[in-house]
Amino acid sequence: MSQLDLNLVRVLVAIYETQSVTAAAERLDVTQPTISYGLGKLRKAYGDRLFLRSGAGVSPTGLAEQLYPVFRDALAAVDNTLEERAAFSPLVSGRRFRLAMSDIGVLIFVPLLLKRFQEAAPRIEIDVVQISETTGEDLAAGRLDLAVGNIPQLNRQTRSSLLFKEHYVCLMSATHPSIGKDMSLSQFLTARHVMVSSPRSGHALVEDGLAELGVHRNIVAKVPQFTVLPELLSQSDLLVILPSRVANLYVSQGALKSVELPVKLSDFHVQVHWHRRQDTSVAHQWLIDEVAKTLGHL
């Protein structure tokens, strides 16, 4: 085969990134037999199996590992040229965007974004994934469209726009037995604290900031998710340090109150990040603008 169908390039990229023939079919919105047929043509063209069965999915061969970055970059370049020539209309577009954010971002940002997209772009689909060590690479490769949050490690790799500045507060029961509207340093140190230890929750930033001030709190429990906090705090004397907007969300649901910290931790920036390859993309610029308008007023 001297020429390769662009659809076969999409097949290999989709299988590699999803590690599954079934998931690749879902991503490309085709049937599983179509993906299997395309994989068969690729195997014949390259004289290699390319993907081998592994557990519940497939794993790439050495040749597939070599082909993937070439195919990925070529596909992104082709898609960008097509997009530049085509008019993007959010009202009719059925495009799927992939966004990365932390679980705390999902809690605060996703409901607002979905409401906005329902009004401005009712057919657009959004996939949200967790921020990870490969988020910068995924943006560069086109596997992600945007990343949203406090992600300073991306600043050198991406374009970015500031959404808002944020700071930390203490959240606790509205009827806490010993802390009222204000909290002294002594009360903070002797109180029992719970810490959210999920990936990218920001707990490392909090701990580093407190350590620099010589402040060591009494952590009695670590939990993996933010969703357990209202029930955990409302019926106890526990405290948790959270970004103020998350704390305000929980306070609005009742039974909890937010109190300023007795020590000053540095504010942090919540930004939207994208790769420079998207600077000429009308669709991505629309998405960036919508995210900025929707979340910038928080």
pLDDT of residue 82: 66
The reply to whether 6-85 and 168-266 are identical in fold is no
In CATH, the number for domain 168-266 is 3.40.190.10
pLDDT of residue 34: 96
Rounded-to-integer distance, Cα 283 and Cα 125, Å: 13
pLDDT of residue 280: 80
- Would the pTM count as exceeding 0.85? no
First vs last Cα of the chain: how many Å apart?
55
pLDDT of residue 265: 92
Q: Which residue has the tokens 């949200």?
A: 128
Q: Which residue has the tokens 């998710």?
A: 225
pLDDT of residue 202: 62
Q: Which residues of the chain have pLDDT under 70?
A: 1-2, 80-86, 198-203
The pair of structure tokens assigned to 11 is 């097949």
Query: Domain extents for the chain?
Result: 6-85, 96-165+269-295, 168-266
Please give the distance of CA 145 from its chain centroid, rounded to a whole number: 10
In CATH, the number for domain 96-165+269-295 is 3.40.190.10
Q: Strands of 168-173's sheet, edge to edge?
A: 218-223, 192-196, 238-243, 168-173, 256-260
Strands (E), 133-251: 146-149, 159-166, 168-173, 192-196, 218-223, 238-243
The pair of structure tokens assigned to 115 is 């409401």
The CATH class, in words, for 6-85 is: mainly alpha
pLDDT of residue 200: 61
Residue 163 burial class via C-beta count within 10 angstroms: exposed 0-12, middle 13-18, buried 19 and up: buried
